[in-house]
Amino acid sequence: MKTLTRGQIAVLAIATIPMVAVGIGGAIGTYANATSVLHRRETALGVVAAGEGATLVAAIVMIGVTMLGQTAPLAIRAALWLLPAAASIMGLAIAPTPTEAVVFALTPLAMTASAEGISFLARRIVVHRTGVDVEAQRRNAALLRRIAYQRARAERHPWRLVRRYSALVAWRLMARLGNEDAALGSALTDVQNTRIIDGANTALAAMFSSAPELPPATGRHAAPATPRPPRATTVAKTATPPAVEATLPVDTATETSVPVYEPGTPHYVVRELWLRQGHRPTESAVVDALGAAGLANSRAQAGKIRRQVEAENPKLPGPRAA
C-alpha cells in the first residue's frame, strides 16, 4: 500500500481549506438572507441546518465510507444535490424581489461544490494508496448487470421490436464500460503492449533467420555408413501368374463389384425397391418409394438416382416385359 508524502499531505490540506471556507461562506450567506426576510434567527438557523447542514452531514458520511474503501449509498450521493436544491427553492420562495431570488437560490450551492470537492479528493487519496477505485468498480458492475439483462432480452424476448431495442441499448452500454477506470485502462494497455512485443519479436525472427536451421552436429563415428544397393545390370522379368490364378470366378467378381449403400439413403431405397419388384421400377414408383422414406422425391431426383443405381449395379434385372 502506498503512503502519502509530507508534501502531498501539505498540498491536500492547503487545497481542502478553501473548499471548507466556501461551504462555510455559503452557510453564512444563507443564514443572513433568511434572517433579513424572516426576521427570526431561530428560523434562519433552521433553514441553514435543513440545507447546508444536511448537505454537510451527507458529505461527511460520503468521505467516511470512501476512506474505508466502500461505495457511497445512492441516498447519500443524491442528498449532496437534492438538499442544496431544496435550500435554493426555499430561497426563491422567501425572496422579496426577483434580484434577491437569484442570490438566495445560488447561495446554498456553495455547500454542494465544497462537499463534492472534498469527497472527490478523499476518493482519489484512497485510490492512490490502495490502487482500487471502488466507485469505478461499482459503476462497471452496474453496467455489466444492465448489459447482461439487455443481451438476454435481445436474444430471448418474443417481440422483435423489443429484441432490436435491447440490442441497441446493449451496444450503447458497452461503449460506456470502463470509463474513468484507471485499473482497467492500465490492464488493457499492458495487454496491447504484450501483443506489440510479440509481433515485433515474430517480425525480427522472420527477418534475421532467412536460412533454415541446420540439424545438430553428430559425432564423427556415431553411425556406420549405409551401403548403397548395387545397380542392377539386367532387368528382371516378372513371372506371369498362372491363368487359373489370374482369372477370378464370375461370382467372386460380381460380389466384389456390388456397392454397399448405407440404409436410409436414396440409393439404398431404390435398390431395395428394384430387388423387391424383380424388374426395373418405373419413375413414379421410385418417386413414391422416396416419399415414403421421407427423402426428396422430385421426378428429376428419382430419375437421377435410378440411373446411378442401374450404372453401379449391372446385375440388377431389366425392365418388366410388356
- Judge whether 27 and 52 are in contact, CB under 8 Å: yes
- Judge whether 80 and 56 are in contact, CB under 8 Å: no
**What is the average pLDDT value for the chain, to the nearest integer?**
79
Residue 23 vs residue 244, higher pLDDT: 23
Of 18-22, 124-128, 178-182, which range is least confident? 178-182
**What are the cell numbers at 116?**
463534492
Which pLDDT score, from 0 to 100, does residue 210 have? 55
**What are the cell numbers at 159?**
417481440
> What confidence tens digit (pLDDT) does each residue in 259-273 have?
888 888 888 988 888
CA distance 272 to 274: 5
- As to burial, measured by CB atoms within 10 angstroms (0-12 exposed, 13-18 middle, 19+ buried), residue 114 is buried
Which pLDDT score, from 0 to 100, does residue 163 have? 93
181 pLDDT more than 70: no
- Judge whether 88 and 110 are in contact, CB under 8 Å: no
> What confidence tens digit (pLDDT) does each residue in 55-109 have?
888 888 888 887 887 788 888 888 888 888 888 888 888 888 888 888 888 888 8
Residue 229 vs residue 186, higher pLDDT: 186
**How many other β-carbons are positioned within 10 Å of the β-carbon of residue 281?**
23
Which pLDDT score, from 0 to 100, does residue 278 have? 84
CA distance 305 to 283: 10
208 pLDDT more than 70: yes
CA distance 77 to 165: 30
Residues 117, 121, 127, 133: what is their CA dihedral angle, to the nearest 10 degrees?
-10
- Residues with Cβ < 8 Å from 73, sequence gap 6 or more? 65
Which pLDDT score, from 0 to 100, does residue 207 have? 80
Residue 180 vs residue 135, higher pLDDT: 135
252 pLDDT more than 50: no
**What are the cell numbers at 169?**
441499448
CA distance 23 to 17: 10
**What are the cell numbers at 188?**
488493457
pTM score: 0.46
Query: What number is the average pLDDT over the span 274-288?
Result: 86
